[in-house]
Amino acid sequence: MNKILFTPLILAASLVSTGLAAAEKPKNAAPVPAEMQQMMKTYSPALRQKVMALSPELKVTIQQLHAQHMRRAKETTLRQVMHEITADYQAIAVALATDNAELASEAARRLANHRIPKGGLLAYFPLDKVNDNDLGVLPAMNEIVEGSALKLADAADAGDLPKAASYMSDIMTGCVACHQKFRGTPGISANLMTPLSK
Ligand code: HEC
């Protein structure tokens, strides 16, 4: 199906089911959007409790962030998805370095429409970051990473490779910002006795 038509359909469907879910719940409980309800069935009690406590607005925001992505993983974890988007980012770099506007555009759109990992993003965040305050930065992170990737793709489609190249640092600024907030140091060893220097 046409991707442009499909996005509003998913959103409309999720809004309708959100309304239905809301009708079945006591008035003061925040409604949980449909796809998130499915994901929550797979969550540990501790994570489920954290997600239930999020504001209605943030639940809808997270649902929308998921809905903007067409591809759903069956088993792929967030870490594996991160490697996929790293590969896409590198493909864009190769494309720009070789004047290949078509690959630059294609890889940038694939990066923006990355797979949603099994269980959704929240399942992989540290539990103490699953709250309104910390997760509130997600739309901004999304905009700088994926918004810039889409702008890069548009510039590449228009044949403006210098402009396309200028978005590379915006994208990486977003990657780094999100990691500073939600990721520890990758691959630290439990068998090292010396504390980390930072
Ligand atoms: C929404 C926040 C967020 C954004 C945006 C984000 N990441 Fe990540 N990234 C994470 C989290 C959380 C992890 C840790 C996942 C884990 O280990 O389960 C991670 C881990 C990684 C890893 C380490 C994987 C490993 O083997 O430990 C790489 C590489 C990575 N991200 C690349 C990127 C790149 C490239 C971008 C930008 C194009 C990006 N990420 C954008 C949240 C983000």
Residue 190 in any domain: the answer is: no
CA of 102 to the centre of ligand 1 (A): 26
Tens-place pLDDT, residues 84-97: 999 999 999 999 99
Q: Is residue 174 part of a domain?
A: yes
CATH assignment at residue 74: 1.20.120
Contact 59, 33 (CB under 8 A): yes
> Which pLDDT score is estimated for 14?
40
Confidence of residue 15 (pLDDT cuts 50, 70, 90): very low
Looking at the domain assignment, is residue 82 inside a domain? yes
CA-closest residue to ligand 1 atom 16: 79
Q: How many Å lie between the centroid of ligand 1 and the Cα of residue 155?
A: 25
User: Nearest to residue 112, comparing CAs of 158, 144, 136?
Assistant: 144
DSSP code per residue over 122-156: GGGS-GGG-SHHHHTTHHHHHIIIIIHHHHHHHHH
Please give the Cα distance from 118 to 124 (Å, whole number).
Answer: 10
Q: Which atom of ligand 1 is nearest to the CA of 149?
A: 38
Report the pocket of ligand 1 as residue ranges, CB < 6 Å: 78-79, 82-83, 85-86, 89, 124-125, 141, 145, 171, 174-175, 178-179, 182-183, 186-187
Per-residue pLDDT at 5:
42
**Which domain, by its residues, includes 161?**
54-182
User: For the chain, what percentages of helix, strand and coil (3-state, to nearest 5) are there?
Assistant: 65, 0, 30
Atom index in ligand 1 nearest the CA of residue 124 equals 18
Which is nearest to 125 in space by CA: 11, 20, 39? 39
Amino acid identity for residue 86 in this structure: T
* Cβ pair 175, 145 in contact under 8 A: yes
- In this structure, the chain runs to a length of 198
| Residue 18 placed within a domain | no
Residue 116 banded pLDDT, cuts 50, 70, 90: very high
Q: What is the pTM of this model?
A: 0.85
Q: What is the chain's alpha carbon radius of gyration, rounded to the nearest angstrom? A: 19
Ligand 1 centre to CA of 184 (Å) is 10
Count the Cβ atoms, other than its own, within 10 Å of residue 81: 20
Domain count along the chain: 1
Residue 69 lies in a domain: yes
Domain-located, residue 12: no
For 143-194, what is each residue's pLDDT tens digit? 999 999 999 999 999 999 999 999 999 999 999 999 999 998 999 998 998 7
Instruction: Please name the residues in contact with 114: beta carbons below 8 A apart, sequence gap of 6 or more.
Output: 69, 71, 81, 84, 85, 88
The Cα 84–Cα 75 span in angstroms is: 14
In a domain, 86, yes or no: yes
Q: Is 183 exposed, middle or buried (0-12, 13-18, 19+ CB in 10 A)?
A: middle
Does 36 reside within a domain? no
